[in-house]
Amino acid sequence: MRCFLSLSGFLFLAISGAIGQINCQPAILDQVLKLDEIHNTPGFSVSIIHNGNIIYEASSGYANLKKQIRISPETVFNACDIAKQFTAMSILILKEQGKLALTDPITQYLPDLPKLRTNITINHLLSHQSGIRDYLDLLLIKKKYKPKYFTKKQFWEDLNQQKQLGFYPGDGFAYINSGYVLLAEIVENVSRESLKDFARKNIFEPLGMLNTKFCNENSKRPSESTYSYKWIKKKNRYSKAQSTSELIGDGQLWTTLNDLYKWDQNFYHNQLGNGNSKLIADLQAEYYLNNGRKSFYSKGLQMNDFKGILSFEHFGYWDYFSSFYIRMPSINLSIVVCSNSDKYRAKLIAKKLQTELLSEITEPEKSQLQRDTGISLQQFEGIFIDLHTKSNIQKFIELEDNLYCISLVKARQYDVQLYNPQKLQPNQIQFGTKNDGDIVFRTDQSENLTHYQWRKSPTIFVKLKADTSNSNVGCTWCGNYFSEELRKKIRIRPISKSPHLQLKTGWFQKRKLEKLEGNYFWNSSEAMVIEFTNESLFINKKRANNIRFERMK
């Protein structure tokens, strides 16, 4: 562990209205990370970079429990989804070489791609706006989320079975791993070499990242790398959790924190491609949806802000490895965290460090909305659904004269309190929140609530129609359904004296479908939303949506 900073651990800042000091005091950061706790467990490694220097390093736990190998800044981790920015950079280098354009249709470089009756561009893949379904969520739906199915053969089989998209390209945003697997294929088809070799020659070697590589075969994983571990409660011990995957581009980047430091510094002094800054500007360029709203995503980088300071960041998770990278260019500060078990989530560690480092920063003053006392909070109660993916459900409730937004997706449960409603226009009402930005509701000409948008999100949520059916659904939607795409049959059955339904696949697999409103149901344990129409139903599961099942006669 080390920490070097002038002025007794403080550096004065005055950036974009945010005024204060970076608080880098090693003893306090050690306490944040609880480094005084010694356990024979997996762990994590942390690096904080400021003005070109590593000002703090810390590691805890073991890379290999059996051999008792400690984690260090030179430990090779699977950085998971952080791989996406390297895949994107490979595409941009090919663009700089004049070998492709980001507006090109992907069918130009992927001749085996199925006909999807619309034009998907390279930009759509880079920005997660393609509408192509996520291969991992498809495997979850089919109960095939196992290492033996993480293959190119399975990926292309599922892709070739897709009869339609989750949404029209550019209309929505859904974090899709499939897009970056296809980008890796494009790199290979254009350059005539694998993404692994192309990235090594054009990124890793020029930057001196000698301990970094793409690795899509478990037998060829770096020999000095760490293992990931999961906690087995029944056995009261950690178990190795290594899964093989033939797919790269969306993940499978093996690297060290010291190598990621070199990648971080290249954002300020580019050495890749022709060596000009335009390559970096292109990597960080923000995307927009067809409706003109910001997506807050560039190419393998999520755009965020903390106390008014812009940050580029990205998470990573795969098979109990996790990683998180935050870069705040205006103050030249970055945080990198890698972990090898579910005991330590890299994102939570990075956010705690960010909060402590910038604890002295004063946020720019915001104009405070004054509550319009003529606005009734009860009118905002109801269930809303993501207009395009139809897999994200939000519920608004009024409680003791306060309005709350509650996520109905179990994997991401949270609630947000809304403050001070203010009428902006005749059909727009804005609320403030503590950390999640403003929310703007819209009403129709009859002042009926129709939809809302978060200020910091491209997503539009529409209100579900009120449920006017009887409490017991009976067999309105019951029957047998078949999906040509998944080649799968399901049964919908009633639950006695209940508005809910049962979804049954095979002999033993059953899921309860809780009734939302109208023709919408959901299964909380799998974050799956079911929409019924006259003679069909649609399954929407996070990033694999709009999957059609026809009623069997």
**pLDDT (tens digit per residue) in 355-381:** 999 988 876 665 566 777 778 888 899
- Structure tokens belonging to residue 264: 């971080």
Question: What one-character DSSP code corresponds to residue 105?
Answer: B
**φ and ψ at residue 489, rounded to 5 degrees:** -110, 140
Tokens encoding 271:
């050495």
CATH 3.40.710.10 fits 78-295, yes or no: yes
Checking if the pLDDT of 219 tops 50, the result is no
**pLDDT exceeds 60 at position 2:** no
Short-list 279, 342, 357, 277, CA closest to 311: 357
Most confident of 343-352, 405-414, 439-448, 498-507: 343-352
3-state helix, strand and coil shares in percent for the chain, rounded to the nearest 5: 25, 35, 45
Q: What is the mean pLDDT of the chain?
A: 87
3-state SS of 235-262 is CCEEEECCCCCCCCCCCCEEECHHHHHH
pLDDT score recorded for residue 400: 85
Fold agreement (78-295, 479-551): no
CATH number at 377-463: 2.40.128.210
pLDDT digits (tens, 9 = 90+) for 54-77: 999 999 999 999 899 999 999 999
* 7 band by pLDDT with thresholds 50, 70 and 90: very low
Q: Would you kindly state where each structural domain of the chain is located, as residue ranges?
A: 78-295, 377-463, 479-551
Give the model's confidence band at 105: pLDDT under 50 very low, under 70 low, under 90 confident, else very high.
very high
Residue 15 clears pLDDT 90, i.e. is over it: no
Q: What's the mean pLDDT in 484-493?
A: 90
The second-level CATH assignment, the architecture, of 479-551 is Beta Barrel (2.40)
**Span 238-291, pLDDT tens digits:** 888 877 788 999 999 999 999 999 999 999 999 999 999 999 999 999 999 998
- Asked whether residue 78 carries a pLDDT value surpassing 60, the answer given is yes
Q: Give the span between the Cα atoms of 263 and 270, in whole angstroms.
A: 9
Q: For the chain, how long is the longest CA-to-CA vector?
A: 77
Q: Is the pLDDT of residue 500 over 80?
A: yes
3-state secondary structure 275-310: CCCHHHHHHHCCCECCCCCECCECCCCEEEEECCEE
Is residue 187 within a helix (H) or strand (E), and if so which, with residue range?
A: helix 177-191
DSSP state of 499: S
In 82-183, where do the E strands start and end?
Answer: none
Q: What is the arrangement of strands in the sheet containing 253-255, beginning at the earlier edge strand? A: 77-78, 253-255, 213-214
Burial of 473 per CB tally in 10 Å (0-12, 13-18, 19+): buried
Q: Can you give the pLDDT at residue 39?
A: 73
Q: Show the tokens assigned to 541.
A: 């599961």
Which helix (H) or strand (E) segment is 83 a member of? helix 83-96
Hey, what long-range contacts does 203-206 have (CB within 8 A, 24 or more apart)? 203/86, 203/89, 203/90, 203/93, 203/272, 204/259, 206/271, 206/272
Beta bridge partner(s), residue 46: 58, 337
First to last CA, the chain: 68
Q: Is the pLDDT of residue 426 over 90?
A: no
- In this predicted model, what pLDDT tens digit does every residue of 328-352 receive, in sequence order? 999 999 999 999 998 899 999 999 9
Sign of CA dihedral 274, 278, 282, 284: positive
Q: Which residue has the tokens 């060290």?
A: 256
Give the pLDDT band of residue 14 (cuts 50, 70, 90): very low
Sorting pLDDT into bands at 50, 70 and 90, what band is 218? Answer: low
Alpha-carbon distances, residue 248 vs 194, 313, 423, 444 (angstroms): 10, 20, 49, 47
